[in-house]
Structure 1
Amino acid sequence: MTRPRRYGDAGQAFPIYITVVGGLLFLALAYFAVGQATVNRSGAQTAADAAALAAAQERRDQLVAEWTKDVLDPSKWQQIFEGDGQELSSPCWRASELASQNDARMLGCSPHGPLDFTVDVETNKTMGKSVVPITESKRSKAHAEAVITRLCEFKPLPVNAGSEVLPRLTCKDGKYWDIDPKELTDLPKAQDLFDVHLVG
């Protein structure tokens, strides 16, 4: 003997089933929106990091060019190694360029001393459409800071040393340069004199 089907129970379960499925679908869309926001934010941070490093590297290259030009005048070495060159233009154009290459725009570029640069950027793309209405027009912003660290030290020469001798550059990892004023073809490179890295 077969039992009769209870259609009333099935009818009551259907709205619950629809509610549960709808809730799960909403959660899935919400997680997707969070994922979109995370990817957008990550892109903004990548752009900010690249921009800050570009500004610092541009300033480093300017300092090395100044040092190379004045290498025979060791009285100027100290101020150059401290970031105080004579003909330094703002390196923020490089930061703007790198932000643009990473699909963002630079909001600000500020030097904090001659060897420290902070950059703020905003993504060109929004977070996209999702169940969270604000993401359609929301752009991610990010901040980054890069610093230049000198890698070499030197002892000033005695006053009576003359022009035939230049100070020895003692650098990281035991490297050193004894620069011959008559033979300036083997000068240290930018990466030998300064390190550029992100902080924070």
Structure 2
Amino acid sequence: MRHRTRTDAGQAFPIYVVMVAGLLFLAFVFFAVGKAAALRNGAQGAADAAALAAAQETRKQFEGPFLASLPGKMLDPFLRAHPVLGCPAAYGLASANGARVTHCRPIPGGLRDRIRVEVKGRDPVDSPVVPDTENTFAETKATAVIEFRCPDWESVDFNDDGVQDMYFFTCRGGEMLEIEPSNPKPWSKVSKILYDVHLVDK
């Protein structure tokens, strides 16, 4: 009787080894999947921050061309064809968030400009049980929009000299804004009323 018990135990031991090895393998796989998901989330955060930084920098750079377009009634042409120049700002934000920008592309669109940023994480998944993961990095993208909030506007020439002395903007939500080209308000305040910057899905 004791001999049969030892035999049964001997036969069961390899099964236990296989089961433990299988469980360890699954644990490593789940760890790799979790790490990949965490790296992707980190890369997505870097992409979001980079895209927003590029859009905000572009909004800052609108100041000179925007104000120059006011006196001669050139506002409409400016809104239809202003440049999107904020991509350099994306690189620093991506790097600070553990990623690098692989591509930054402005997509001009008149009253609604887009900046699309693609990033690649700096840390590989590097799983010991999943092949080629030492060269697998999280890659993702984000798109930010610079949207003109005040499409309803009019200008007034008080002196009838052909030069517009005041511009009145009606913005979304009923917010009003007046700009006097000869004495404009600080752009840091005006730009946030005129232009909304936010992320979009596409």
Question: If the TM-score is normalised by the length of the shorter chain, which range does it land in?
Answer: 0.7 to 0.9
Change (3 A) 1:30 1:181: closer
Aligned positions of 1:17-166 closer than 5 A: 17-67=16-66, 69-70=67-68, 73=71, 75-82=73-80, 84-85=81-82, 90-113=85-108, 115-157=113-155, 162=160, 163=163, 165-166=165-166
State the shift of 1:168 in Å: 1.3
Change (3 A) 1:197 1:31: same
TM-score after normalising by structure 2: 0.82
CA contact (8 A) 1:105 1:124 kept: yes
State the shift of 1:129 in Å: 3.6
Instruction: Name the CA distance, whole Å, in 2 between partners of 1:186 and 1:121.
Output: 34
Change (3 A) 1:189 1:167: closer
Identity of aligned residues (%): 38
Can you list the C-alpha shifts for 1:139-176, whole angstroms capped at 9, x where unaligned? Answer: 12111111111111234447887347423110122110
- Corresponding position of 1:190: 191
Q: Which runs of 5+ in 1 are unaligned?
A: none
Instruction: Name the CA distance, whole Å, in 2 between partners of 1:147 and 1:65.
Output: 20
Q: State the SS of the aligned residue for 2:147.
A: strand
CA contact (8 A) 2:169 2:176 kept: yes
Greater CA deviation, 130-139 or 160-169? Answer: 160-169
CA contact (8 A) 1:154 1:167 kept: no
Instruction: Name the CA distance, whole Å, in 2 between partners of 1:183 and 1:94.
Output: 29
CA contact (8 A) 2:179 2:185 kept: no
Change (3 A) 1:145 1:181: closer
Instruction: Name the CA distance, whole Å, in 2 between partners of 1:186 and 1:139.
Output: 43
CA contact (8 A) 1:118 1:143 kept: yes
Equivalent pairs counted in the alignment come to: 194
Letter in structure 2 aligned against 1:147:
V
State the shift of 1:118 in Å: 1.0
Q: State the SS of the aligned residue for 2:49.
A: helix
Q: State the SS of the aligned residue for 1:143.
A: strand
State the shift of 1:179 in Å: 3.6
Change (3 A) 1:91 1:81: same
State the shift of 1:49 in Å: 1.4
CA RMSD in angstroms, aligned pairs only: 2.7
TM-score after normalising by structure 1: 0.83
State the shift of 1:99 in Å: 1.4
Q: State the SS of the aligned residue for 1:66.
A: helix
Instruction: Name the CA distance, whole Å, in 1 between partners of 2:166 and 2:156.
Output: 11
CA contact (8 A) 1:74 1:167 kept: no
CA contact (8 A) 1:53 1:146 kept: yes
The structure with more strand, counted as a fraction of residues: 2
Q: Which runs of 5+ in 2 are unaligned?
A: none
CA contact (8 A) 1:146 1:198 kept: yes
